Amino acid sequence: MGGTAVVVGGGIGGLAAAIGLHRTGWDVQVLERAGTLADAGAGISLHANGLRALDALGVGPAVRAASRPQYTGGTRTPEGSWLSRMDGAALERALGTPIVGIRRSVLHGLLRAALPAGCLRTGVTVTGLDRTAPDRVGVPVGDGMLDADLVVAADGVGSRLRGLLFPGGAGPVYAGSTVLRAITERPVRLRCDFELTWGGGAEFGHIAFSDGRAEWHAVLTAPAGVRHADPLGMLHRRFGGWHDPIPHLLDATRPQAVLHHDIHELATPLRSFVAGRVALLGDAAHAMTPNLGQGACQALEDAATLAAALAHEPSVASALARYDAERRPRSQAVARAARQAGRMGQRLSHPLAVALRNTGLRLAPSRVTMRAILRHADWTPPALG
């Protein structure tokens, strides 16, 4: 099956969906609201399920070549003692690949490069859809209308299209945490590829990149909308007494490089990822907290699954029904697990609760940690061809 498709949103999920559709014979246009592609964002970890989805889409090798494998790391206390360690080599034996770290800008660039020239249009805001025809969807663009056999709504956690498709439905809510992140200005010496450190109501983590620099993030329990005149100075005061390399990472960061975003999620699951000939994908469908590092991976799974369904099913309607049946239960289960992980991790603040959590992690056998990762990362994409 082939046809014309419009993807609304040029993020990771939207670009991946467009790649999958293009590879299976669809004429695709991606409409991105941003006027320029500034490649905002810091870094990202990709688990085996995300990498396998990228393999199915044909861009896995390029992403791996630009990434740094995460073989060493784990979770620590602010004083530096280990709560649990990550065995990346064991994960690679179990899944065929380690977790990898990559800059978001690099990943975006690789996804864009896999699309034909002219496929991506920037500076286009989609505020509505014309769904009056049974076999077409109209997408208003400027003074004109794009007619499509399929629309993919990949317009993020604050999706306008989701609100149009499910009026009165629950939208995104503040998850209770805010995150500041940046990429260091220069290479830094790190003992581990990946680390998380949990304190009371706070988390600090880093991802090492192949060029020697690193992404770091700080998650804080805080009211929504709180901002700081000097974010980096606040972080120095908040985390300056935590173990190395945390102060070193902050020292290697330019103040203007720090990004600050509140974390929102779809706490009330959608009853469907499909409305007529429109499919919701990525954060528009299942925005989740970042505690499992699965947000982008689930969007990549969406993209591969949607493309495969459209390649094999006899109609758009049956393909979208298959997509919804395969993706909604899994992605919503991962979202629930991510929310619970946050409650047991950074969101804990009472000293007794933190102490009990830390003791439990130290006593847990390594195979328990491995099973927790495999539960979400061990996913096999459907074949596109």
- Pairing of β 144-148 and β 137-141: antiparallel
Classify burial at 277, counting beta carbons within 10 Å of its beta carbon; exposed 0-12, middle 13-18, buried 19 or more.
buried
Name residue 301's amino acid.
E
What is the dihedral sign for C-alpha 280, 283, 289, 294?
Answer: positive
Secondary structure of the chain as H, E, C letters: CCCEEEEECCCHHHHHHHHHHHHCCCEEEEEECCCCCCCCCCEEEECHHHHHHHHHCCCHHHHHHCCEEECEEEEECCCCCEEEEEEHHHHHHHHCCCEEEEEHHHHHHHHHHCCCCCCEEECCCCCCCECCCCCCEEEEECCEEEEECEEEECCCCCCHHHHHHCCCCCCCEEEEEEEEEEECCCCCCCCCCEEEEEECCEEEEEEECCCCCEEEEEEEECCCCCCCCCHHHHHHHHHCCCCCCHHHHHHCCCHHHCEEEEEEECCCCCCCCEECCEEECCHHHHCCCHHHCCHHHHHHHHHHHHHHHHHHCCCHHHHHHHHHHHHHHHHHHHHHHHHHHHHHCCCCCCHHHHHHHHHHHHHCCHHHHHHHHHHHHCCCCCCCC
Domains of the chain (ranges; CATH) run 4-70+96-171+267-346 (3.50.50.60)
Task: For the chain, 385 residues long, give each residue's pLDDT as a single digit of tens.
Answer: 779 999 999 999 999 999 999 999 999 999 999 877 655 668 999 999 999 999 999 999 999 999 999 999 999 999 999 999 988 999 999 999 999 999 999 999 999 999 999 999 999 999 899 999 989 999 999 889 999 999 999 999 999 999 999 998 889 999 999 999 999 999 999 999 999 999 989 999 999 999 999 999 999 999 999 999 999 999 999 999 999 999 999 999 999 999 999 999 999 999 999 999 999 999 999 999 999 999 999 999 999 999 999 999 999 999 999 999 999 999 999 999 999 998 888 888 899 999 999 999 898 887 777 888 888 999 999 999 8
What is the dihedral sign for C-alpha 31, 328, 278, 150?
Answer: positive
**Helices 88-95 and 366-377 sit at what angle, rounded to 10 degrees?**
50
Q: What is the CA radius of gyration of the chain?
A: 21
Asked if residue 316 lies in contact with residue 310, where contact means CB atoms within 8 angstroms, the answer is yes
Residues in the chain, overall count: 385
Give how far the C-alpha of residue 135 lies from the chain's centroid of Cα atoms, to the nearest Å: 32
**Cα–Cα distance measured from residue 174 to residue 92, given in angstroms and rounded to the nearest whole number:** 35
Residues 6+ apart with CB under 8 A from 364: 84
pTM recorded for the entire structure? 0.95
